[in-house]
A and B are shown apart, each in its own frame.
Chain A
């Protein structure tokens, strides 16, 4: 999967939990949760959505590494 495809998949998962949001407007190094007002419950649902779409396992210990869009793309790319 290319970076563009991963980005699109992330946006799809974000729109599922925040339908009114425009994740493509968020900068690659912005804090996603702050920018889109995502609480811990929705963040967990977002990770579940990514897992279901991409099959990537995300241990709880790694949550802290997944702050920005750039973090997420790097993380998923490395585990494909």
Chain B
């Protein structure tokens, strides 16, 4: 029997609220279907299922706030015999019925739980076979920190913004605390890239036009193929390179805050497809219709603050990723070439990278690759 659990939808998310079910017991589901909506501090996220089968039991109820990892539903996976129908036991508000289980925890997790006074019975392990590991205990310890109640209840919009800021604060504080950042930047002559893009757009309708942002995403994805060490995660004291490139895109929201959903399989997309994906992602991020896989699977972040006239972006890496690429504005600037001073449209690209995962030499190779690719945009 498969379990559909409260997903982790952010670097420091410890709990989420089930907003709604899109399925009922007996419904057939397949991998990738959106079966629930979960509320986080940042936004409501549509959550996909990772198994194909039939919904056996819905354990959690809309409105339940549950720790990450808590089973929300049981799924009879394809080919499995139907089990006895389980009715969700009536539970007090905010609580959830749990099936009995054998406690499996690593020695370090048991030791830490004792030190921190955490009840292992209340933790859902994320290790192999559901084993409770050290970080599960740490998460649980963090999750039980009481949040002081505000003396005056904020308006819903203010509460949403406060939740967003809190989530960003947790992730960014963790990044600054844990990740030894190094920064590199380079100024790129964008003349050829923009001339090529203008030509490219001339053949396209207004609805199909491509912004420089999409061209930059394509260049980042291609440069990462040459420097894969910047595409992945740092976990368990080691770099884990991702085979796929899922570019996380920092998207500012109009009421404040930001989301970093990912364009999945960016490396396999053309420039026009990246533009279409970006358009779709920005629209859904701003209307609160992102999917869980887009929130959790980013392998590197790209942020572009050029629209606001920023020249250089010194980004903070989104953990557990190991790099962030920042772009400033494209503007005409003095440019010396073979002894002649002229004016070119240029842009500053910045790499913030995790020194535990890579060294400056590798980071410099990435920026060099990025520059080279943008000098031959027709090959992208």
Contacts and interface: CB of A to CB of B under 8 A. Distances in A.
Interface of A: 18-20, 33, 37, 39-41, 44, 47-48, 51, 57-61
Given A60-B198, A60-B201, A61-B198, A37 B209 contact: no
A41 B211 contact: yes
A60 B207 CA distance: 12
Q: Which of B207, B211, B254 has the most A CB atoms < 10 Å from its CB?
A: B254
Contact of A57 (B201, B206, B252, B254): B206
B237 interface: no
Given A47-B206, A57-B206, A40 B255 contact: no
Nearest to B305: A39
B201 A39 contact: no
B255 A60 contact: no
Nearest to A39: B307
Given A33-B307, A37-B254, A44-B209, 11 more contacts: A19-B254, A39-B252, A40-B211, A40-B212, A40-B213, A41-B213, A41-B279, A41-B282, A48-B206, A48-B207, A57-B206
25 contacts: A18-B254, A19-B254, A20-B254, A33-B307, A37-B254, A40-B212, A40-B307, A41-B211, A41-B278, A41-B279, A41-B282, A44-B206, A44-B209, A44-B211, A47-B206, A48-B206, A48-B207, A51-B206, A57-B206, A59-B202, A60-B198, A60-B201, A60-B202, A60-B209, A61-B198
Contacts of B212: 40
Q: Which of B198, B206, B307 has the most A CB atoms < 10 Å from its CB?
A: B206
B202 A20 contact: no
A52 to B, nearest CB: 9
A34 to B, nearest CB: 9
Interface residues of B, number: 16
Contacts of A60: 198, 201-202, 209
A41 B202 CA distance: 18
Given A37-B254, A41-B279, A41-B282, A58 B206 contact: yes
Interface string B242-266: 0000000000101100000000000
A33 B308 CA distance: 9
Interface in B296-350: 307
Contacts of A48: 206-207
Interface in B24-61: none
Nearest to A33: B307
Nearest to A56: B206
A19 B255 CA distance: 10
A59 B203 CA distance: 11
Q: Which of A18, A40, A47, A51 has the most B CB atoms < 10 Å from its CB?
A: A40
Contacts of A41: 211, 213, 278-279, 282
Interface in B173-226: 198, 201-202, 206-207, 209, 211-213
Q: Which of A20, A48, A60 has the most B CB atoms < 10 Å from its CB?
A: A60
